Chain A
Amino acid sequence: MSTRNRTPAALKPYLRLPSETSLILLTSTLSCTVNWLTPRFIIAAINGSGHGDHTDTQSVPGAREEGSTVILTSWMRNQAYWKTELRRITAGMDMDKVIATGKLAFVDCFTNLTQLAPEKALSEQESRITQAIAKANGAGRRIVLVLENPDILIALALTTTYDLSDFLLRLRNQVHSTVLVCNADLPLVAAATTSQEGMQNTPIEAETAAFLVQQAHAAQYVLGVRELETGAAKDVSGVLRVTRGGAAYSWDDEEDDVEEVKELEALYLIQRDGNAKVFERGTSMI
Chain B
Amino acid sequence: MAFRKRNVAVGRGGTPDQSFGPEASILPPGIRPSSLTSQPVTSSGTPSLDDLLGGHGGIPLGSSLLIEESGTTDFAGALLRFHAAEGICQGQYVHVVGVGEAWVRELPGVIEETPSRAAAASKPIDDERMKIAWRYEKLGQAGERALPDRSAPSKSENQDQTSFCHVFDLTKRLSIPPDTKINYLPVRSLSKPFDGMVKSIHETLKSSPPHSTHRIVIPTILSPAIWPPSASLPTNFLAFLQSLRSLLSQYPTRLSAMMTLPLELHPRSSGLMRWAELLSDGVLELTPFPHLMDATNTASEIRTSKDTQEQPQGMLRVHKLPVTTERGEGGAGVGNSLGADLAFTVSRRKFIIKPCSLPPLEGDHDAQKEAGQITGKDIEF
Is A234 engaged at the interface, CB distance under 8 Å to the other chain? yes
A34's closest neighbor in chain B, by CB?
B328
Q: Do B327 and A204 touch (CB < 8 A)?
A: no
Is B333 engaged at the interface, CB distance under 8 Å to the other chain? yes
Known: A33-B325, A183-B278, A204-B234. A91 touches B239 (CB 8 A): no
B146 vs chain A, min Cβ distance (A): 12
Q: Can you report 29 A-B residue pairs in the complex whose CB atoms are below 8 A from each other?
A: A30-B278, A30-B319, A31-B338, A33-B325, A35-B326, A77-B249, A78-B249, A80-B18, A84-B18, A85-B327, A87-B15, A111-B246, A113-B242, A152-B275, A156-B234, A156-B238, A156-B239, A183-B274, A183-B278, A187-B271, A188-B275, A202-B270, A202-B271, A227-B330, A232-B330, A234-B331, A236-B332, A271-B333, A274-B327
B341 vs chain A, min Cβ distance (A): 9
Scan residues 197-245 of chain A and give those whose CB is less than 8 A from a CB of chain B. Answer: 201-205, 208, 225, 227-228, 231-238
Is A115 engaged at the interface, CB distance under 8 Å to the other chain? yes
Is A137 engaged at the interface, CB distance under 8 Å to the other chain? no
Task: Please indicate the chain A residues that have their CB under 8 angstroms from the CB of B328 in the complex.
Answer: 32-37, 225, 237-238, 270, 276
Is A273 engaged at the interface, CB distance under 8 Å to the other chain? yes
How many of chain B's residues have a CB under 8 angstroms from any CB in A? 47
**CB 8 Å contact bits of B6-32 with A (1 = contact, 0 = none):** 000001111101100000000000000
- Chain A at the B interface: mostly helix, strand, loop or mixed? loop
A186 vs chain B, min Cβ distance (A): 8
What CA separation (Å) do A113 and B247 show in the bound complex? Answer: 11
What CA separation (Å) do A227 and B319 show in the bound complex? Answer: 11
Partner of B327, one of A36, A183, A202, A233: A36
Q: Do A111 and B250 touch (CB < 8 A)?
A: yes
Known A76-B278, A191-B271, A234-B332; further 20 A-B contacts with Cβ < 8 A:
A30-B319, A32-B328, A33-B327, A36-B327, A78-B249, A84-B18, A152-B275, A185-B278, A188-B271, A203-B234, A208-B271, A227-B331, A227-B339, A228-B331, A234-B333, A237-B330, A270-B329, A270-B332, A271-B329, A271-B333
Could you tell me which B residues sit within 8 Å of A by CB distance? 11-15, 17-18, 36, 145, 234-235, 238-239, 242-243, 245-246, 249-250, 252, 268-275, 277-278, 283, 319-320, 325-334, 336, 338-340
Task: Please indicate the chain A residues that have their CB under 8 angstroms from the CB of B331 in the complex.
Answer: 31, 227-228, 231-234, 236-237
Task: Please indicate the chain B residues that have their CB under 8 angstroms from the CB of A171 in the complex.
Answer: none
Is A122 engaged at the interface, CB distance under 8 Å to the other chain? no
What CA separation (Å) do A251 and B328 show in the bound complex? Answer: 32
Is A112 engaged at the interface, CB distance under 8 Å to the other chain? yes
**CB 8 Å contact bits of A73-110 with B (1 = contact, 0 = none):** 00011101100110110011000000000000000001
Partner of B274, one of A32, A87, A115, A187: A187
Is A272 engaged at the interface, CB distance under 8 Å to the other chain? yes
Is A131 engaged at the interface, CB distance under 8 Å to the other chain? no
